[in-house]
């Protein structure tokens, strides 16, 4: 059996703005899945985020699409170090993200995050590999 892949789909108001924002954070995009309605952001091996113009996103569901003032999910990405967490938050802030809270150090885990230009919440974390999982 091959490794599973995950494709997270997010509605965006302005696709070009989103591409500029996430490019500033160091993400790349797959041109094979990019047009004026969508792009495929490469997060890692087998992990992708489809950024879809809101009207196109709406064609995949009959339910209302959350916009700005509500939270549907928090996307959490692991990083290799505290410095990598802080660097990505700094890049996000410089690219226009809102950083609603200070970093939190739980001892075994360090986390920080930001809101992208469309209000999607991104959490970044690094966890001590020696930490026992309950």
Alpha carbon distance 64, 32 (integer Å)? 28
Q: Which of 125, 122, 123, 126 is nearest to 18 (CA)?
A: 122
Global confidence as pTM: 0.87
Residue (of 57, 61, 41, 60) closest to 49 by Cα position: 41
Please count the helices (runs of H) and the strands (runs of E) in the chain: 3, 8
What gap in Å lies between CA 4 and CA 99, rounded to an integer? Answer: 32
Alpha-carbon gap, residue 3 to 16, rounded angstroms: 31
Tens of pLDDT, residue by residue, the chain (134 residues): 678 899 999 999 999 999 999 999 999 999 999 999 999 999 999 999 999 999 999 999 999 887 667 777 889 999 999 999 999 999 999 999 999 999 999 999 999 999 999 989 999 999 987 766 55
Q: Identify the pLDDT of residue 66.
A: 79
For residue 99, the SS3 value is coil
Q: Which domains does the chain have, with CATH numbers?
A: 6-127 (3.10.180.10)
């Amino acid at each position: 059996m091959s490794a599973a892949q995950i494709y997270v789909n997010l509605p965006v108001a302005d696709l070009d703005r989103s591409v500029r924002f996430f490019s500033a954070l160091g993400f790349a995009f797959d041109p094979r899945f990019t047009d004026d309605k969508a792009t495929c952001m490469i997060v890692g091996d087998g992990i992708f985020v489809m950024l879809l113009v809101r009207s196109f996103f709406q064609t995949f569901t009959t339910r209302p699409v959350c916009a700005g003032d509500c939270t549907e999910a928090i996307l959490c990405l692991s990083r290799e170090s505290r410095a990598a967490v802080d660097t990505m938050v700094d890049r996000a802030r410089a690219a226009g993200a809102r950083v609603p809270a200070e970093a939190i150090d739980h001892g075994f885990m360090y986390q920080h995050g930001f809101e992208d230009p469309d209000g999607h919440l991104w959490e970044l974390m690094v966890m001590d590999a020696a930490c026992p999982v309950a």
